Amino acid sequence: MNAAPLLIEIGVEEIPAGVAPRMGEALQQALEAMFMSNHIKTSSLALGVTPRRLLIHADTCPLMQADREQILWGPPEKVAFREGEPTKAAEGFAKKSGLRVEDFELADKGDGKARYMKAMQTIQGRDVCSMIAEAMPDILRKLPSPKSMRWQDGSTRADAFIRPIRWIVARLGDEIIPFSFAGIASGLQSRGHRMCKDNLGEISVHTPFAWLEERMVIANRDTRKAQILLSLLKAASNAEVNLVEDDDLVEEVTDLTEWPHVITGHYDEDFLRLPIEVSRIELKHHQRCFSTVDDKGNTSNVFFAVANIKSKNPAAVAQGNERVVNARLADATFFYDRDPKISLEARVEILSTIVFQDGLGMVGDQVGRLRGFVLDNAKALGIDANEGQRAAYLCKSDLTTGLVGEFPELQGYMGGIYAKMDGENEAISQAIAEHYMPAGAADALPDSKLARAIGVIERMDKLLGYFHLGRIPTASADPFGLRRASIGLIRLLADDTQPIDMTLTDILKDSAKQWNQQRVTIAISDDTHAAVQTFIHDRLLGLAPLLGVSVSALDAALSANQDLPLYHHLAVARLLTEFADSEGGQAVAAANKRIANILKKAGDISPNIDSALFEECAEQVLFDALQTLQSNFPSEPKEQLEALASLRQTVDTFFDDVMVMADDEKVKANRLALLAQLRSLFLQLADVSKLCVKKH
């Protein structure tokens, strides 16, 4: 038998939701890479992921690595031989290769430059079982996880892992793949669901997924997720309600269960008077339950929980969930009834007692900065100054309410509701409700222009403050959500449906000014200002695909010598993304790279051009074309790009006919000045030299 099934299963204590899939995919990719690099051809690797296991299975895997031949190239002939006799270099290379000099021939590598020692060497295949055993500990050590720990429940647990490892199955056919990790040696024994009577046993190497399913474990994550969705929809149909879609919650409960079953519950109808998000947030974030609505879209008191076992008494499980949900919603109702007794305006004073961040003053100070920025820049932000400052003044007041204190996920949303209760107009109420949007890279943007204005300054204010403290995100840690803040800022400024006509530089400067004017906490230094600008620029380039442009096109647009609102730069980047893929675009980009390199090496260049120093016709033609274009340069990016692209032939002819670095210093300086003027004209639109040029 030349092949056998492969099975690897790492059994652990429950892995947090969202982590196991990433670890499983990394395990699969690492094994695939190991097999590929060692020329081991297996059938496709099937992945199983549950909270308690990472599983890899292949129907066939070779028992032995195939023998293979490789070409050995030795020293060139003139080094390997002297007067027809092998030198010590040749003999040493042959000995090192385990061959004799006679085993080599002299051959050309294909470049026609010389002949080299050449031999074909047969590499004996290794035992695949041993190769996997050697690789597995290091593969497991490198699996991605938010935190790895060493578990002190055994004397040999030297390896760190996200949760304690309880068993390892590693088999190639009937043979155990022998290795140890975190104090656990590989073997044959696996475990089913904790509540399964026939829990422990030798897992089938041929059909591990079926073996686990017999023991109440659906190891295939996609199958488990599909079953949860189907069960939820069926339960909703039976209860005559409509499920409120929540992809994030589906993903979470998929990662928390091995044998999922949906339980239907009902909370007291009195709680239906709560705003829809209150019950939804309570059910989702505190109970991991799904909300429903009736046929008219009104909140329903029916909810669904996803249990990790099929109960013999589902009614009792439902009652347990109902008891907890009703208690939580009773708390919410108490605060919802009590909070409006103190208006949002009256609560502003309380914000001066809430710490924004140690070293950065109070939330009340932050509100002052937000309000000042909105007032100073209302016109550029495209908002009414009075409404803007009012919304900024009240936008954090809900942090002092009991309901937001109990359910922090409701901040902003409840502020908007309480603002309406206080008699604030719709624009101000909506701005307060939406100013935290978007929360992520794919979340919806706020409809409110006021909310966008407040959202821009709030995120910039946060970035400047935390960077001042040195709390800059690292590759592995961003505890204060500064990447998320910068991404939200970028998305607000990038949107051209409700454009904000402020540049990133202006927003940075004015936000820093708000900090510095207060003089109650800190002053933003130039270094902090520069660090935040670089951080946002890096995030912006990282978001290029999401924004529908190439990284090089966006970088080129941002490098223009005009600082424009971000949505303007993105419009240019979209033009450049398409332009760069054309034959003309490639030629123009290549010419600009050449010009940029020449000017960079030249150092300081005089801006003056003397046409009397022109020696070639191509110089005069380029000069005349530049003057014509400069006097009639279009205002719209598309026309600008077309006009600049029209110079292609003129520029190509210049480089064909003109030696820029002439011996005569005056002629050389004049030609450099001409190229500098050309580059300056391009830079009014973008630094086209940054576009990717494809190698042919």
d(CA 49, CA 24): 6
Residue 541's pLDDT band, with cuts at 50, 70 and 90, is very high
Strand partners, 201: 190
Strand partners, 265: 303
pLDDT value of position 199: 83
Q: Is residue 477's pLDDT more than 70?
A: yes
State the residue for tokens 């929540």: 246
Q: Which string of b and e fits 411-447 if b means at least 16 CB within 10 Å?
A: bbbbbbbbbeebebeebbbbbbbbbbbbeeeeeebbe
The domains of the chain are located at 3-65+127-213, 68-123, 221-339, 345-543, 583-690
pLDDT value of position 155: 58
Cis check: omega of the bond before 438, within 30 degrees of 0? yes
% of the chain residues with pLDDT over 70: 98
Q: Which of 24-33, 148-157, 196-205, 237-246 has the lowest mean pLDDT?
A: 148-157
pTM higher than 0.85, yes or no? Answer: no
Average predicted confidence (pLDDT) for the chain: 92
Asked if residues 500 and 380 have their Cβ atoms less than 8 Å apart, the reply is: yes
Helix (H, G, I), strand (E, B) or coil at 454: helix
Alpha helices, DSSP H, located in 565-647: 566-580, 583-602, 617-631, 637-645
Q: Which of 100-109, 160-169, 557-566, 572-581 has the lowest mean pLDDT?
A: 100-109
Specify the CATH architecture of the domain 3-65+127-213.
Answer: 2-Layer Sandwich (3.30)
Q: Is residue 514's pLDDT more than 80?
A: yes
Mean pLDDT over 9-26 rounds to 94
Q: Which of 54-63, 652-661, 687-696 has the lowest mean pLDDT?
A: 687-696
State the residue for tokens 């209150």: 278
d(CA 256, CA 587): 55
d(CA 372, CA 349): 17
pLDDT value of position 520: 61
Asked if residues 430 and 418 have their Cβ atoms less than 8 Å apart, the reply is: no
Q: Is residue 148's pLDDT more than 90?
A: no
Instruction: Report which secondary-structure segment, H or E, holds 526.
Output: helix 526-542
Asked if residues 257 and 51 have their Cβ atoms less than 8 Å apart, the reply is: yes
Amino acid in position 316: A
Alpha carbon 158 to its chain's center? 32
Q: Which of 45-49, 273-277, 337-341 has the lowest mean pLDDT?
A: 273-277
Mean pLDDT over 128-138 rounds to 94
Q: Is residue 521's pLDDT more than 70?
A: no
Q: Is residue 696's pLDDT more than 60?
A: no
pLDDT value of position 282: 92
State the residue for tokens 């790895």: 148
Mean pLDDT over 82-102 rounds to 88
Closest CA to 16 of 255, 369, 326: 255
Give backbone dihedrals phi and psi of 58, rounded to 5 degrees, phi first.
-130, 135
Residue 523's pLDDT band, with cuts at 50, 70 and 90, is confident
Query: CB-side exposure of 301: number of CA atoms within 13 Å?
Result: 13
pLDDT value of position 153: 60
Task: Determine whether 467 is exposed, middle or buried from the number of CB atoms within 10 Å of its CB (0-12, 13-18, 19+).
Answer: buried
User: At a CB cut-off of 8 Å and minimum separation 6, what does 346 contact?
Assistant: none
Alpha carbon 469 to its chain's center? 25
Residue 519's pLDDT band, with cuts at 50, 70 and 90, is low
Mean pLDDT over 424-433 rounds to 97
What's the pLDDT tens digit per position in 219-257?
999 999 999 999 999 999 999 999 999 999 999 999 999
Residue 66's pLDDT band, with cuts at 50, 70 and 90, is confident
Task: Report the CATH number of the 583-690 domain.
Answer: 1.10.730.10
Q: Torsion over CA of 438, 439, 443 and 449, rounded to 10 degrees?
A: -10
Strand partners, 10: 54, 168
Residue 608's pLDDT band, with cuts at 50, 70 and 90, is confident
Mean pLDDT over 282-288 rounds to 91
pLDDT value of position 227: 97
Q: Dig out the tokens for 686 from the structure.
A: 């973008």
Q: Is residue 272's pLDDT more than 90?
A: yes
d(CA 414, CA 418): 6
Q: Dig out the tokens for 289 from the structure.
A: 């339950």
Q: Is residue 381's pLDDT more than 80?
A: yes
pLDDT value of position 4: 94
pLDDT value of position 156: 59
Q: Is residue 1's pLDDT more than 80?
A: no
